Amino acid sequence: MKINVNILIFEKNINMSKPESRMKKFSNRISNKIDEIFIQEKSLSLSSLNLINKEEELKIIKQLISFIDLTTLEGTDTKEKVKELCKKAKNPLSYFQGFDSPQSNINDSSNKKPITDIPSFSKNNNNFLHCAAVCVYPCFINIVKKSLKGSNVKTASVTTAFPSGQYPMELKLKDVKYCVKSGADEIDMVISRGRFLSGNFNYVYNEVNKVKKICTSDLSVGKSNKKRKKVTLKVILETGELGMLENIRKASFIAMSAGADFIKTSTGKIQPAATLPATLVMAEAIREFYNETGIKKGLKPAGGIKTTKQAIEYYMLIKNVLGDEWLIPELFRIGASSLLDNLVQELVVRGSMSA
């Protein structure tokens, strides 16, 4: 489909269920100018923790654990590391370590204690405390799928020549097909930022739309030849490379119109990664898209979110822009690695103190 981002076509009888129609609907307003200083100040205001009491913070921390896409995307990743990550994602509170040092590592088994030793927690009331997904490179999908069997944690994989996106379209689509056939529940694709910054918005729209079609096709899985349900598509904009906030807004609408289930800030491989202003622009685009189409899209800030305070700031931003209905794993995720350890430590310390 060829799109024109400078012309808005108003059609009273437009079919908003079709991606092409959605792109026409938003083609002009995605070029609106944005006051960056205003957005910076607004994002700080909307993410403020000033009105939250300690009890509310504890509830938010529990929710945040369920929003995490626990991620490892390193060249040094091994099967053993991925399996250990899956154990942590399935039951983050099953074991914990002492908190004498800020460098403490929950994976270190030398100082772990069963969660049942901690006041305020028991096996009967924390079953919901698991991560949303484990996100890995394609070669680890089978390992993650087996390790997560029987849990509610999803298997996610990066695709389309992550993190650069600098592969021919044909190879990107083969990458996605491999991931879906291998059993990925969720696909985290990157857009072609070079094409976007060159003004080739049609290419970006089409690549997202082609990936979406694979995610909704009846590809068989492995030897069982079992048919898949729809695979969730998260589209990484890499906001740190897009420059102006106008570009982030524009890329958000292109991705959503092309079929993205989530729009995601970053790969975590460049700086800046996730920022509050970029996330605010994306959240407002989601709100506008929903108001026009009735279709809810998810948001995933990722990269550089490490502390409990940072995570709660993003939580408050989403709450204040999109409302409580977006505060579910189906519509809000945080891509992170070290954040989970910090949330668990905070939860255990506060639970122990309140007991």
Q: Could you tell me which of 226, 294, 232 has the C-alpha nearest to residue 263?
A: 232
Residue type, 15: N
Q: Is 117 designated active site? A: no
d(CA 160, CA 190): 6
Among candidate residues 25, 154, 172, 300, the one labeled active-site is 300
d(CA 42, CA 63): 24
Among candidate residues 188, 234, 261, 341, the one labeled active-site is 188
Burial of 112 (0-12, 13-18, 19+ CB in 10 A): middle
Question: Which residues, in sequence order, are CB contacts of 124 under 8 Å at separation 6+?
Answer: none
- 332 contacts 263 by C-beta, under 8 angstroms: no
Q: Is 77 designated active site? A: no
User: Nearest 5 degrees, angle CA 43-CA 45-CA 47?
Assistant: 65
Q: Is 188 designated active site? A: yes
| Tokens 């983050």 sit on residue | 92
Q: Prior bond to 114 cis, omega within 30?
A: no
37, containing H or E segment: helix 36-46
251, containing H or E segment: helix 245-258
Residue type, 92: P
Among candidate residues 264, 297, 319, 341, the one labeled active-site is 264
Question: Which residues, in sequence order, are CB contacts of 144 under 8 Å at separation 6+?
Answer: 82, 86, 134, 136, 155
- 297 contacts 288 by C-beta, under 8 angstroms: no
Active site residues: 188, 264, 300
